[in-house]
Structure 1
Amino acid sequence: MRRLDSLDPADAPAKSAELLGEIIGRHGSAGPMVTAMAHSPALLQGYLDLSRAMKRVKLSQALSEKVSLALQEWIGCALCLDAHTQAALKAGLSETDVSLARQGTSTDQREAALMAYAVRVLAEPASIRDEDVAELREHGWSDRIIADTVGLVALNLLTGSFNLVAGLEPAPAEQSTKEKPAHVH
């Protein structure tokens, strides 16, 4: 059930109205998450800035979507899972790749290590040790990728948490066609 209403630019605080106007001008519309975030100009600005910045990560689009699927499965945001599933398929991932990503793994050992690290950063960041970072490096991941992954975790936590608090869910037709696997921790 929706708990935060979407705002039209005319009803939003001044800074949010400006930001919504820019989004609508560029894309023709603004989605339910963004229009609900408009209640908080600071949150909306922070989300937009972080989202734009994270488009410059060194991860491929396909791997970024795999990581996001693993994170959103853990967070439990159906709207995010739906969006990242669509994006993953558009990026060329198979249904099997998507299913494995939602379980926090991959057929590629390097990717599986990075995805497991991302979920640990989300769920228990204090558990990350020197050995964990060394293992990522042994898999060939650079410090930039290790750092970029923390940013991807932050973005997914922000969007997933916001959507859950706001009560935003996929349209019923979309939701009923997707079986949700067991929650992975």
Structure 2
Amino acid sequence: MARFEPLTPETAAGASRELLGDLVERHGTVGDMVATMAHSPSVLGGYLGLSKAMRRAKLDRTTSELISIAVQEQQGCGLCLASHIEAARLLGVADYEIELAQLGTATRPEVAAIITLGLQIYREPASISDEQVDELRRYGYSDRAIADVVGVVSLNILTGAFNLVAGLTPVQEG
């Protein structure tokens, strides 16, 4: 059960009112997470900024979604996990690849290596080695793509932690 009520442009105050009003004007509606983030204009603004920045990431969207699935499986945010699984399916990712990402791996070694990096960034960034980064480069990942994994993981930590604190869960169909 949600711990915070979602806000609207009418019920939000200050900077959150402006941010939500702009989003609703441009998109017509916002999801529960964004509406609930409006309790903190700092969190909402940070989320919107990082989310926008990550749309310009060099890392391809499919790989980003697989990393997100691996991270959310660890973090335990069912809402985020469901969202990233749906996004991966829309990109044409096979169910077995989604299941492997949930286990922290992939069939292709280069994808498994970048998922491993994402999970290490999430769990233990000090454990990342020069050899590991060199291996990613040999697989063809640019320094920018490797750095973008930090952004993907950071965005997932923010959204997952927020949803867990706020008590936001996937809508049960039935």
Match of 2:171 in 1: 171
Match of 2:130 in 1: 130
Instruction: Report % sequence identity.
Output: 51
Residue deviations 1:46-81 (CA, integer Å, cap 9, x gap)? 100000000111122211111110111111100001
* Inter-partner Cα distance in structure 1 for 2:68 and 2:136: 18
Match of 1:56 in 2: 56
Q: State the Cα distance separating 1:102 from its structure 2 match.
A: 1.2
After TM superposition, the score normalised by the length of structure 2 is 0.96
One-letter amino acid of the counterpart of residue 90, structure 1: L
Match of 1:90 in 2: 90
* Inter-partner Cα distance in structure 2 for 1:124 and 1:5: 34
* Inter-partner Cα distance in structure 1 for 2:130 and 2:60: 25
* Inter-partner Cα distance in structure 2 for 1:3 and 1:157: 19
Higher mean Cα deviation, 134-143 or 65-74? Answer: 134-143
Q: State the Cα distance separating 1:14 from its structure 2 match.
A: 1.4
Alignment of 1:1-185 (within 5 A): 1-173=1-173
* Inter-partner Cα distance in structure 1 for 2:130 and 2:67: 21
After TM superposition, the score normalised by the length of structure 1 is 0.91
Taking only aligned residues, the RMSD between alpha carbons, in angstroms, comes to 1.1
Q: State the Cα distance separating 1:138 from its structure 2 match.
A: 2.1
Residue deviations 1:20-43 (CA, integer Å, cap 9, x gap)? 111111211111000110010011
Q: State the Cα distance separating 1:131 from its structure 2 match.
A: 1.9
Residue deviations 1:92-114 (CA, integer Å, cap 9, x gap)? 11111111111111111000000
* Inter-partner Cα distance in structure 2 for 1:161 and 1:2: 14
